[in-house]
Amino acid sequence: MLQILNESLIELHINGEIRKALARPSDTLLFFLRERLGLTGAKPGCENGDCGACTVLVDGWPVKSCLMLAAEAIGHEVTTIEGLDKVPIQQAFVDKFAFQCGYCTPGFIMNCQGLINIHPDASDEVIHEWLQSNICRCTSYQEIMEAIRSVLPSQ
């Protein structure tokens, strides 16, 4: 049985690498990524699961890293925005001006990347369903829709 009783060195698979760092069992994955590993792409917003700025992929699925313990990620593959290497959705956000202040952008891109991988045939209804998990205070929603449509094979 895996057990972590206090602050300990834990090992996570992140962006294709094994990363080790100290973590308290009660550290969220968001805190661990930013404060222990310096991966600051996942943004703290509401830290309550509402805004989606901290979205990362866990085993390919979007997850709000403020609502996951770092310890839970042991044995799973985590991908952060730093782990994407010029994938089409990143260029699409540039081409379609799908951001203004940019704070929500990593979370939106990770959610979009999850959708592209899991449902490349997504309809507009499915895109809407997924994107409603993220909030953009600059209201770039239309441009974000255009960005993801431009890279989905089904569109």
Partner 1 sequence: MIPFDFEYYRPQSITNAADIFQTLEESGKNPVFYAGGTEIISMARMSSITTGAVIDVKEIPELKAMEFNGDDLVIGAGVTLTQIHEANLFPLLAQACARVADHTIQNKITLGGNLCGTIIYREAVLPLLLTNAYLVIASVKNARRVPINEVFSKRMQLNRGELLVQVHIPRNYVSCPYVHVKRTKEDKIHYPLLTVCALLTDNQVRAAFSGLVNFPFRSVEMEEALNDINLTLEQRVEQALNKLPAAVPDNLEGSAGYRTFILKHLLTSIVNELETGNVTNS
Q: Binding string to partner 1 for residues 90 to 129, with x set by CB under 8 A, is what? A: ---------------------x-----------------x
Q: Please state at what angle helix 124-131 crosses helix 141-151, rounded to 10 degrees.
A: 130
Min dist CB 125 to partner 1, Å, is 11
Contacts of 131 (CB under 8 A, 6+ apart): 108, 111, 112, 141, 144, 145, 148
SS3 assignment for 30-59: HHHHHHHCCCCCCCCCCCCCCCCCCEEEEC
134 makes contact with partner 1 (CB under 8 A): yes
Find the part of the chain contacting partner 1 (CB under 8 A) among 56-64, 82-90, 92-100, 145-153.
56-64
> Which residues contribute to the site for partner 1 (CB under 8 A)?
1-6, 24-28, 31, 47-49, 52, 55, 61-64, 66-69, 71-72, 74, 111, 129-130, 132-134
